[in-house]
Amino acid sequence: MGRMKRKRQETPAGVKTVEQQALERRQAEAALRRDAEREADKPEDPGVQESRKGVKKAYQHSRGFRIGGWCAAAACVLILAFLFAQAFCHAIVINEGSMEPTLSAGQTCLINEAAYRLSRPKRGDIIVFRSGNGRYGEGLRIKRIVGLPGETVQISDGRILINGTAMKDDFASIVDPGVASEPVTLDADEYFVLGDNRNGSEDSRYDAVGNIAESEIVGKLWLRVLPFRKLSVLR
């Protein structure tokens, strides 16, 4: 039997074909593009132009303000770094063994010059003080504070007596008491200092050093930086 021929289905009236729908979409897109091009070619409204200029100007001012802020912050950091270096980072090299075993010759430490601007020196502080001319170099000595202003210091039987009471001391018994074999009364601005190497230090026991006036104190020794393996805060 011969095959039956299928009847071609006709598109109902009023219903668009796929091709017609695609054509209409392309035409609509082309119309939108033309409208956009015409809008772009139109001269911009003066009010809109002024508004854009205002926004741009404000942005420029804001950018300048930010740059100024960065510069101010950088300047503050530099100033603070300078002040920190001036107050805490002056170095001194130990050139003698009078502070053994705490400090050894050849080690480098930092001086805290701001330590006594808001408070007074305390017993046990390791201080740097002037002995002779010059702010840094040969005119500086390093010792530990033992006696405070107004106290009476005496060394008897190898022990340090403060106002007649033996002071707790972790260092060697003192062989030579020097001038402190008799009671030494300190003035209101004087300190009595000793080296940690009690029997190998020239300090307040001897006339070459004597009692230390507060005005002669440069600062507190606070950090050992060299050799690096011995980096430590000093106590």
* Host H or E run for residue 71: helix 46-88
Mean pLDDT of 204-221: 93
Count CB atoms within 10 A of the CB of residue 148. Answer: 16
- Tens-place pLDDT, residues 85-107: 545 568 889 988 999 999 999 99
- Asked if the model's pLDDT at residue 71 lies above 60, the reply is yes
Q: Is the pTM for the entire model greater than 0.85?
A: no
Say which DSSP state 181 is in.
G
* Host H or E run for residue 158: none
CA-to-CA distance for 154 and 149, rounded, in angstroms?
A: 14
Give Cα separations from 15 to 12, 20, 21 (angstroms). Answer: 6, 10, 10
- The letter for the amino acid at 58 is A
Q: Are 176 and 199 in contact (CB under 8 A)?
A: yes
- Tens-place pLDDT, residues 37-54: 776 665 656 655 666 665
pLDDT on residue 99:
95
When pLDDT is cut at 50, 70 and 90, the band that residue 70 belongs to is low
